[in-house]
């Protein structure tokens, strides 16, 4: 994997051109031996080449719009791109009217000179943590690719596009873990911001309460700069925090229950490395955190909010939906207005309780996903699919419920099953989290 920063430095030094980067990206996407045909649903080859030529001319004239002008990225298939429909990994929207304008985050990335190479595959309508798509095929995790393991979802193609070096950065969404889960399963870095920081207009919704727009890349710094561009902020270098004296809380309880052996080993090793680097690792129970599963016993916010958006489309085109996705959406019809109001009140109460309980700490750390990526074949039966999907989403969905920013950082060794270390900050504490995650990343990498 290459970093966005490395490519920016090579462009600035004249060692690379935008056209060369685009051709390299397209070659990897179109490699018949690779996962590009499953990772991407649409490739913008000619538009990317034209954009690269323009960015090279601007750089030669000293007018490049940013240091990142000319760097290819991928976009999840639920972002509006002017002149195209926004299918969101579904057949039901294949003939939808084309978008009239770019989503704001797409417009901001293009204005900075980033070049969208194409639209990446995803779980239909972003509604699963496994990353399966029965319509267009499922891209495979890099881990034991011959076996064929799930990539994580719903930003499945986004993670694979980064892990396989097709692009240095990918843009996804995260409603219950959809950037962090595929990052963990594919061995890359994934970031979910505080939702309100990045505009969600022009993004096909799953849950208006929980949706956020995030990034996947090879490093914390890459995710941070992509986030800054999308948030309309000025990118600044991520200065790693000094870990000495940093208070990192490990939440005891269901977040640590039933860990697969490789995940438990990688997480324990990460905690020991951070402790040796000077961080104070404090294991503590958080009662409010333990209440979240009960609060979501009817499915949480996603079913009713998704059903409100989909009910007319479902009535017309249910046969075109993935049956598992349709079943989850239809569950939203069962929640009463009173139940929804109660859920909103419970969320506000638990957020306040967790804010108070975590105030003495700099961040929470826990395994991103409690299991290693299962084989795609292991999800064939519905009972196994639902069980594995629930396990996959278990830890990451806590963060969305609490409206907090979080990173998933690779914490496995080469050759081991992929494992993610989730580092969770405070609501609107994204800038502080960038520094903490960069410091943690450096320790995990042995720097």
Token pair 């969905």: residue: 397
Fold of 4-231: Amidase signature (AS) enzymes (3.90.1300)
Q: Tell me, what's the pLDDT at 230?
A: 98
User: So what's the pLDDT on residue 431?
Assistant: 97
Q: Residue 447: its pLDDT value, please?
A: 79
Whether the Cβ atoms of residue 443 and residue 243 lie closer than 8 Å to each other: yes
Kindly report, residue by residue over 381-409, the tens digit of the pLDDT: 999 999 999 999 999 999 999 999 999 99
* Beta pairing partners, 282: 249
- Please report, for the chain, the start and end positions of each structural domain, with discontinuous segments joined by +: 4-231
Question: Helix (H, G, I), strand (E, B), or coil: what is residue 149?
Answer: strand
pLDDT in tens, 115-135: 999 999 999 999 999 999 999
For the record, the structure tokens of 51 come out as 């954009």
DSSP code, position 240? P
Per the listing, tokens 């980033």 go with 114
Mean pLDDT of the region 226-238 = 94
Distances (CA, A) of 167 to 22, 118, 149, 294: 9, 10, 21, 40
H, E, C per residue of 330-392 = HHHHHCCHHHHHHHHHHHHHHHHHHHHHHCCCCEEEEECCCCCCCEHHHHCCHHHHHHHHHHH
Say what the pLDDT of residue 236 is.
Answer: 87
Give yes or no for a cis peptide into 376 (omega within 30° of 0). no
pTM (predicted TM-score): 0.98
Q: Is the pLDDT of residue 238 over 80?
A: no
E strand map for 222-326? 247-252, 280-285
CA angle 429, 432, 437 (to 5 degrees): 115
pLDDT of residue 351: 98
Instruction: Give 23's pLDDT tier (boundaries 50, 70, 90).
Output: very high
First to last CA, the chain: 18
Render pLDDT for 202-223 as a digit per residue (tens, 0 to 9): 999 999 999 999 999 999 999 9
Burial (CB count within 10 angstroms: exposed 0-12, middle 13-18, buried 19+), residue 165: middle
Q: Could you give the residue numbers annotated as active site?
A: 76, 154, 178
Where b means 16+ CB within 10 Å and e means fewer, 229-258 reads bbbeeebeebebbebeebebbbbeeebbee
Give CA–CA dist 236/8, Å, rounded. 14
CA–CA separation, 227 and 329 (whole Å): 29
The structure tokens listed for 107 are 């417009």
């Amino acid at each position: 994997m290459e970093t966005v920063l490395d490519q920016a430095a090579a462009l600035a030094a004249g060692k690379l051109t935008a056209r060369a980067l685009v051709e390299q990206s397209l070659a990897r996407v179109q490699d018949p031996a690779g996962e590009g045909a499953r990772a991407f649903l649409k490739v913008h080859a000619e538009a990317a080449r034209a954009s690269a030529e323009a960015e090279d001319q601007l750089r030669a004239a000293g007018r490049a719009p940013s240091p990142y002008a000319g760097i290819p990225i991928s976009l999840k298939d639920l972002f509006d791109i002017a002149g195209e429909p926004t299918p969101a990994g579904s057949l039901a929207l294949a003939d939808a009217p084309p978008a009239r304008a770019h989503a704001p985050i797409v417009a901001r990335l293009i204005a900075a000179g980033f070049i969208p190479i194409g639209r990446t595959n995803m779980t239909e309508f972003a509604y699963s943590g496994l990353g399966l798509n029965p319509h267009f095929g499922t891209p495979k995790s890099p881990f034991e690719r011959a076996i064929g393991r799930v990539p994580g979802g719903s930003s499945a193609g986004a993670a694979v596009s980064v892990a396989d070096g097709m692009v240095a950065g990918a843009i996804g969404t995260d409603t219950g873990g959809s950037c962090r889960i595929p990052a963990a399963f594919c061995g890359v870095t994934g970031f979910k911001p505080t939702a309100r920081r990045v505009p969600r207009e022009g993004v096909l919704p799953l849950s208006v309460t929980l949706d956020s727009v995030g990034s996947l890349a090879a490093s914390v710094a890459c995710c941070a700069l992509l986030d800054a561009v999308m948030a309309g902020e000025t990118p600044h270098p991520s200065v790693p925090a000094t870990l000495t004296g940093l208070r990192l809380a490990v939440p005891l309880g269901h977040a640590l229950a039933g860990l697969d052996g490789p995940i438990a080993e990688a997480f324990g090793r990460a905690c020991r490395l951070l402790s040796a680097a000077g961080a104070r690792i404090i294991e503590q129970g958080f009662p409010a955190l333990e209440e979240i599963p009960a609060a979501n016993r009817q499915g949480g916010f996603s079913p009713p909010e998704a059903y409100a958006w989909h009910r007319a489309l479902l009535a017309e085109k249910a046969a075109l939906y993935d049956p598992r996705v349709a079943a989850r959406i239809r569950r939203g019809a069962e929640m009463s207005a009173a139940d929804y109001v109660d859920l909103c009140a419970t969320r506000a109460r638990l957020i306040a309780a967790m804010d108070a309980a975590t105030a003495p700490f700099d961040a929470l750390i826990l395994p991103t996903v409690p299991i290693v990526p299962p084989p795609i074949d292991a999800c064939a039966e519905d009972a196994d699919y639902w069980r594995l999907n629930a396990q996959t989403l278990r830890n990451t969905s806590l963060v969305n419920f609490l409206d907090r920013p979080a990173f998933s950082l690779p914490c496995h060794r080469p050759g081991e099953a992929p494992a993610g270390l989730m580092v969770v900050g405070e609501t609107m504490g994204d800038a502080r989290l960038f520094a903490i995650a960069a410091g943690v990343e450096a320790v995990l990498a042995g720097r």
